[in-house]
Structure formats: C-alpha cells, structure tokens
C-alpha cells in the first residue's frame, strides 16, 4: 500500500527512543524526511543514523518539550534543516509526579502538563499555518489509555485527558483545511529504557506475572512496532477521512467502550 507521504517532512518529539523512535522509523520507511528531538545527543545521533539508512534526510535536535523556551528554536531548526513541517507527532510525555490529589504539589502537577500538553500544543500552533496554506497536514498526538479512563497517577491522567480533548477540538477547527488531527492511546507497551521494561526488570516475577494476568488479555506486554505502523497510516493520504479520533492500541487492556 502506497501511503503517499514520500518527501513529506515529519517532526517527532521524543523521537530518539521508544515509541517515538518507532514512529520515526515507520515514517522514514515510507520515504518521509524525519526530524526528531530529545535530550541526549548520543541517542539522537544513533537514531538519526538509523533513519538515514532508509534513504531519507534526517536530523536530530536537542530540545526539552517540557521547556516552552525550547519550542520555537526546535521548530526553526527543523524548518531550516528539512523544510516546513507537514507531519507532526507529539510523542514526548511522562510524569515524575506519582502522588495522588492529597499529596501532589501544584508545581509537579503543572510540570506534567508542560511536557504532555503545553509543549505539543505550542508546536501545533507553529505548524498549522503551513498546513493550512497547502491544505494538507497531519497532527498525531500520543496520549494514553489513562487519558480515556482511570489509571496511572492524577497528574499524568489529567494531562493525557486534556491532550485528547485538545486533539478533538483542533480536528473540528482544521478539517475544512485538509488538516487531520488525531490521537493515539497506547496501553502497556514495553521498549528499551521504558517504564514497562523497568517494571519487568525491577519487580519480582510473581508481581509481573500478576500484572499481566490481571491487566493484559493477550498475556504479554505490547511491542512498539504496531504503534509505529499506526502513526504512518494516520500520517498518510489513506487516512483522509479520519480526524478527531482517539485510537486505542492496547491489546484489549482498557475497559472503556468509548
């Protein structure tokens, strides 16, 4: 299937490892030129080399999406290096705040929104004018099943729910301009250096086995590759009637029917 994105320019935040890396690889395999950002130069360099091996142009930019002063320079670096952005994948996210509402500080709560929502929102505002002018664009926001239903900690759950809401609203605004905006809600996907890999390495085997038995109907943690393929499809010409959706990719883990 020809996805029709050869030569398009894509930016994936948090694209040097994990789910972001897999999304970047999938897009590069379809012929898109890819920019990634991250906070570690060695990891960026390694992933950029992988992307270039697919015969496309690729660059890595040091940037912390949770720091809004990094957003404008990141956008400019991609435009200068590859051209205007046709495909934006807001993947960077996470939370260092683990407490519930009785203990979490307001600063920690706000910091979780900075990395999961506000940085990506600012990038959306920067790329939209170009997408509108050419009447084509794709924005894909990586949320979580814990943005759709109860789970995780209150900071992360709240921020991901807000990201899904912002995605839906933006899609309603931009559909007439040929700009498709969607979110993806992954479940427990294990990858190198990720939360679920650490969980499996640090917890006793019986704890891991119980988690799998009680939460993962397929009997295993997910792999990153299907998410990368989904990103590539949503970025493509083939997805021209999909906008405002939150697509779950979790092996049946979540309980919500909506």
> Which range (125-139, 159-173, 180-194, 233-247) has the least confidence?
180-194
pLDDT in tens, 204-224: 888 889 999 999 999 999 999
Domain range annotation of the chain:
9-187+224-247, 194-221
Q: Which is higher by pLDDT, 76 or 190?
A: 76
**156 noted as active-site residue:** yes
Residue 119 has pLDDT above 90, yes or no: yes
Write out the DSSP string of 203-246. Answer: S-HHHHHHHHHHH-TTSS-B-HHHHHHHHHHHTSGGGTT--S-E
Write out the DSSP string of 40-97. Answer: -HHHHHHHHHHHHTTTS-EEEEE--TTSGGGHHHHHHHHHHHT-S-SEEEE-----S-
pLDDT in tens, 120-167: 999 999 999 999 999 999 999 999 999 999 999 999 999 999 999 999
Question: At residue 60, what are phi and psi to the nearest 5 degrees?
Answer: -120, 135
Q: For residue 233, what pLDDT band results from cuts at 50, 70 and 90?
A: very high
Given CATH 3.40.50.720, say whether it is the number of domain 9-187+224-247: yes
Which of 70, 156, 181, 246 is catalytic? The answer is: 156
At 201 the pLDDT is 85
At 49 the pLDDT is 98
At 85 the pLDDT is 98
C-alpha distances (whole Å) from 136 to each of 24, 127, 176 are 20, 11, 10
Give the pTM: 0.96
């Amino acid at each position: 299937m020809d996805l029709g994105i050869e030569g398009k320019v894509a930016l994936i935040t948090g694209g040097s490892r994990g789910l972001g890396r897999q999304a970047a690889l999938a897009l590069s395999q379809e012929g898109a030129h890819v920019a990634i950002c991250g906070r570690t130069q060695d990891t960026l360099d390694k992933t950029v080399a992988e992307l270039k091996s697919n015969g496309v142009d690729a660059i890595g930019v040091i940037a912390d999406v949770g720091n809004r002063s990094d957003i404008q320079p990141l956008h400019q670096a991609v435009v200068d290096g590859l051209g205007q952005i046709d495909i934006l994948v807001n993947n960077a996210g996470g939370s260092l705040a683990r407490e519930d509402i009785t203990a979490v500080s307001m600063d920690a709560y706000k910091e979780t929104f900075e990395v999961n929502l506000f940085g990506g929102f600012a990038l959306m505002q920067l790329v939209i004018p170009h997408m509108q002018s050419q009447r084509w664009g794709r924005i894909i926001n990586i949320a979580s099943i814990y943005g759709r239903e109860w789970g995780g900690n209150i900071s992360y759950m709240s921020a991901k729910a807000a990201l899904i809401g912002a995605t839906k609203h933006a899609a309603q605004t931009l559909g007439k301009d040929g700009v498709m905006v969607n979110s993806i809600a992954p479940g427990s996907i294990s990858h190198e250096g990720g939360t679920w890999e650490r969980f499996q390495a640090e917890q006793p085997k019986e704890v891991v086995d119980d988690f799998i038995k009680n939460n993962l109907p397929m009997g295993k943690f997910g792999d990153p590759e299907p998410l990368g393929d989904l990103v590539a499809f949503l970025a493509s010409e083939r997805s021209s009637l999909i906008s405002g959706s939150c697509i779950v990719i979790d092996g049946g883990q979540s309980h919500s029917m909506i």
